[in-house]
Structure 1
Amino acid sequence: MKAISVLGSTGSIGTQTLEIAQEFPERFRVVALSAGRNLPLLVEQISQHSPEVVALADDSLLPELQDRLNALPTDRQPDTLPQLVGGANGLNVAAAWDTADLVVTGIVGCAGLLPTLAAVRAGKDLALANKETLIAAGPVVLPELKKSGSRLLPADSEHSAIFQCLQGTPWAENASLSTGVPTPGLRRIQLTASGGAFRDWEAADLEKATVADATSHPNWSMGRKITVDSASLMNKGLEVIEAHYLFGLDYDHIEIVIHPQSIIHSMVELADSSVLAQLGWPDMKLPILYCLSWPERLETPWRRLNLTEVGQLSFRSPDPAKYPCMELAYAAGRAGGTMPAVLNAANEEAVAQFLQERIHFLDIPDLIDATCERHKSDRMDHPQLDDVLAVDQWARDVVREQVERGTRRIPMAAMAA
């Protein structure tokens, strides 16, 4: 039985991980949970899984959580009440919990960086769903992995597809996970993208884009921030940087392909020209399960892929005019050092401003580009953790300053009002 710690247990990745733990109680037990502010759902999770420790990002909510647990009916009480911890240190405690074998990192954004590092330094293996860990802090994380011997298992669908395709190659036998060294026999990675909410829009029509438009994904049900990233294709640009760190391939050999059906989750081309792909219905539970069960595969009752039901698989190159964020991500990745951290933080803040309807969708790449330009003279090649955290905060401040003082495009909702 594998003991797991779930960081971000009330989010999409966390809830699906716990569903898997319930489906396979003989294989997985939950020993640690961390969450944000969704106390009703967290209490249900504690009741169902009886973790040993529970961490809340906001430690002011700990008394309320304790009261809710005490008020549970007898038949819903956990086997033993968990230790409750809070704040940034509490998240680190849950991440490095002694009895955990694997830590699922489902905390969104750079907030997940410090607890992920705590897990690595404690020698835990990680199911990595927080892409910012490598994007913002790859130069910091990779040496820590080498030092501790921790392994990163990619939990997002695209990198899991690559990881699965590489099983049975020389890489799987001889290379450690996430060392940043070139993967033997791997020539090219093709990351598939749904194309997001604006997949079928003309670039010129994006002037009309609203928050409601950008948060309506054609294939997936996700959080608002990641859905906007999908609409701008920044999510795929960030995945390019993550793939570089995970598999050691240079940016000229990592490509993005629009695949509207979202059945092929990514492809790899090997040295002999063979192309391998991993296929499946669009469902995050499969890559999460593979992380939890690796190197084994578990029998599931889940819906089986039927290609005759799918009918056709189509592909096209992304339009740079419609997706400028894609090129910004490649440029930041090639620059390296602290530039990807600035890109990521600027994007997070710009998307937040857009969701508040303070800027237009097309302002997002403009703000990111301007912030990255300002950072060029200060970019560091070999940053330490404090450097990454400092430039992350700097980039957020720069975006907010630009929004406050600059004349941005007027959001369509404001025009209608």
Structure 2
Amino acid sequence: MAFYEYVSQEQLTGFDMYKYSAVDSNPLSVYVMHPFWNFVVKFLPTWLAPNLITFTGFLFLVLNFLMLAFFDYDFYASAPDHVHVPSWVWIVAGLLNFIAYTLDGVDGKQARRTNSSTPLGELFDHGLDSWACVFFVVTVYSIFGRVEAGAGVGVRTLYYILWVVLFSFILSHWEKYNTGVLFLPWGYDISQVTMSLVYIVTAVVGVETWYAPIFMSFHYRDLFTVMILGCAFTVTLPMSLYNVFKVYRKNNLKFSSVYESFLPFLSPVLLFILSTLWVCLSPSDIIEKQPRIFYFMVGTAFANITCKLIVCQMSKTRCQPLSWLLLPMAVVVLVILSGLVQHYETLILYVWTAAVALAHIHYGMCVVHQLSGHFNIYAFSLKKPSTD
């Protein structure tokens, strides 16, 4: 069972009829980034597969995550009494983040340039984007860190901020699930450019600069939090609801009942409930002991759920109410909350995180393999498979 067929025959038929439809109204994207990406893509060789560009950009984000994990595993490096992250690391982080963002912007242009656009390319792109959320949120956290006093952000606060970012991401795919059109969120481009700049600025001015209050007792950590929450609740959420409502008024929603329309949120909400119960009732306060691993576990489980939604959204099939991953996780959380394995909670977290990661990687590899075979293409090459 090396390659399990996760995509049903009904979904494969839906992929055959798929047409890409998206709206990008963000001024930063339209007037600045797209012209820049159009310039960059001209320098790429025409033999370079778009999916390889997408995957390379994703690996840069993973590299950033691992690099900061090496220098700041427990998020204390920005504290005044700790050894700070070297300045060159922030420069590398900023460059890698911007390069990853650029590659994410040019992969689709390369596909159109080489006449190699397929539904697999979009699925691969958005699937990796869903996993990338946890990497860039957790990586940028090291700038402020979990400092006990001053400019720090608590690990529990970051946990909820992460969930705001995750739900903001899934909103756009919930829109497309209901409307058939992907409304690209404004917050993504703004956040990527901002993060890249903040990394570089941090290398120049040092993390100590972020300790000073901006005005009275309002710190940069508060600005960081306000920007994320403000963007989510004043831009992303209202625009998503408005876009769905517009289509609803025209009687063009893909699903007529309220239950079917909101079905994609069921599994993410249950994941949020399970992980939050674990955070709040953990016998050993696991979020304080292993925040990085816990964030990674939650982000990976979320990505797995979101990828399945994207498959349903693109194939115009009904979203499954529950992800199978939630059942073993519910068992894990119940065992943890029983208090019988308090001394092994960290070990259980590591084992469960590894299981989630392997399950998600297996899912991704199988779906890419299955769709590659279905469309008779190579995922990472523009050469055509032999028909002999």
Q: RCO greater where, 1 or 2, for CA within 8 Å and sep 6 or more?
A: 2
Same fold per superposition (TM over 0.5): no
- Larger helix percent: 2
Instruction: Sort the TM-score into its range (normalised by shorter chain).
Output: 0.3 to 0.5
TM-score (ref. length: structure 1): 0.31
